Amino acid sequence: MSAESLPDAVPPLHLPRRTRLLLCGAFLLLGAAVVADLVTGPGTTLSPVLAVAPILAGATTRTARVPLIAGAIAIAAVALLELTNSGLPDSVHVTALITVLAATLASAGNVVLVAARERELLHVRTVAEAAQRALLRPPPERIGPLRTAVRYVAAAAEARIGGDLYEVANTPYGVRILLGDVQGHGLPAVETAADVLGVFREAARTEPDLARLAERLDAALTGRPENDRFVTALLLNAAPDGGPVDFVNCGHPNPLYRRAGRVGELEPPLHAPPLGLLGLVGGRYRVGRFEPRPGDLLLLHTDGVSEARNAAGRFYPLAERFAGLHAGSPADVLDELLADVGRWVGLAGLADDAALLAVRWERREHWEH
């Protein structure tokens, strides 16, 4: 999507009930001030209070005409009060008029500026969403014996992309899955994630050995100029006939699997360093093996989930909550799990990006359905 095709309009403002009450209050204030001024009689005036009306009106809209209309009504009310309250010096009424006019122009100008900022933010977010679709492609719901789902939640409320990454590729060697977490945040982390995904998408279809595939990803990171980032990652290769699953854990949190209501961890045969650090410690990546059964549910996750904290500072009990989730499709399980994480962290929100990828093995009779 090009920048020229982005929308120029500000998205519609959906006013919460309290904000709508502000707009009603602005016009009620106009009427109340006029009535109070008439009741109190000569010698006193509330006309300067009318300057609040366009300010309240401006807080409820993204179009300048609303505070301008409220200001015009307020100015008319000040003029009316000047005619009915002649006991005050003209300087008082002039001051009230200038005050209301200044508040009206300031409120209208503020609305214009806020609308321009929101339009700019909309452009940025639209580009970010297009970048996310190119970088993190949603996996197919079904691949042979596997049923998959993925969810990604950025820690920053306005963010769309970050340092977590995933990919599911159907290759001549089986279904290959990658889930990773780049050290650090911001654009450098996104650039590193893009590099890893690019190498994986090519090497996953040409490299028969899973450990060698991990080494190629490690080499791609260490070969980057001025590279100081590493990536924890999980690599899986699921046999196309529902047979054994090979996996390599590169310094990443162990995946969980649920079988008949019980949850266990996929322990690697050897703890290995993250991608980008293998050369510092030497050795090689080792391949582990998992024998799935129909109905097994495998959960890959980043530490944004397992290290989510509640108000008391306690980590989210992922294995315990995963065991208690209702059975359903992988997508249903991830939605329920993320909702539970949201309740756990409360208003504080996630401190880190969170990626979840679920894989369930279907019975053979369901493969084609």
Please report the sign of the dihedral spanned by the C-alpha atoms of residue 28, residue 31, residue 35, residue 36.
positive
Task: For residue 274, give the DSSP letter.
Answer: P
Contact 182, 165 (CB under 8 A): yes
Mean pLDDT, residues 100-108? 89
pLDDT per residue as tens digits for the range 74-102: 888 878 777 776 667 777 778 888 888 99
**Structural element, H or E, at residue 166:** strand 164-171
The C-alpha atoms of residue 36 and residue 45 are separated, in whole angstroms, by 8
Pick the CATH number of 138-366 from 3.40.50.10540, 3.60.40.10, 3.30.390.50, 3.90.1150.10: 3.60.40.10
Both tokens of residue 301? 């996750």
Contact 146, 360 (CB under 8 A): yes
pLDDT per residue as tens digits for the range 34-50: 777 777 666 667 677 77
pLDDT per residue as tens digits for the range 124-159: 666 555 556 667 788 888 888 899 999 988 766 555
Q: Is the pTM of this model over 0.95?
A: no
For 199-254, give the secondary structure using H, E and C: HHHHHCCCCCCHHHHHHHHHHHHHCCCCCCCCEEEEEEEECCCCCCEEEEEECCCC
Contact 353, 143 (CB under 8 A): no
Domain limits of the chain? 3-131, 138-366
